[in-house]
Structure 1
């Protein structure tokens, strides 16, 4: 019997303007910097966090991270999603 795998959430559209403010927030709070050349990769990874956090847009997610006192735990989850884990053998 095959166990169905969950369908990944769709990648939300990310405008350059929203990318700028969201990536700036990530840079300020976590020290991670993303160039516009990485917009699609950033959108893919952040879309998952947006979806899993119950939001429907990047801008709503941004406002949550920026202004909600309870956002610190979610910011840590976002950083985990954005950082590529390395494996050493």
Structure 2
């Protein structure tokens, strides 16, 4: 088991209305990552990922590609202190 990490991610581009949040949640199941994802008022997607370092890094890389209908322009990743507060991954509103 690797070090536990937390990434706060902001994704910009064509990322709303293209199943980005649902596909993010599906991808976290493949990577054993916990946290949340939501749309922002300015047309971006925001997410927090927690888990083993390799799994969280895989999710930040996944965000650079996104869902099949998205067109990611930029991904901003801020590494934060792991909290362990999450027991699953959810889409929030």
- Give 1 or 2: higher strand fraction: 2
> TM-score if structure 1 supplies the norm length?
0.32
- Give 1 or 2: higher helix fraction: 1
Q: Which has the larger radius of gyration?
A: 1
Which has the higher relative contact order, 1 or 2, with Cα contacts under 8 A spaced 6 or more apart? Answer: 2
> TM-score if structure 2 supplies the norm length?
0.32
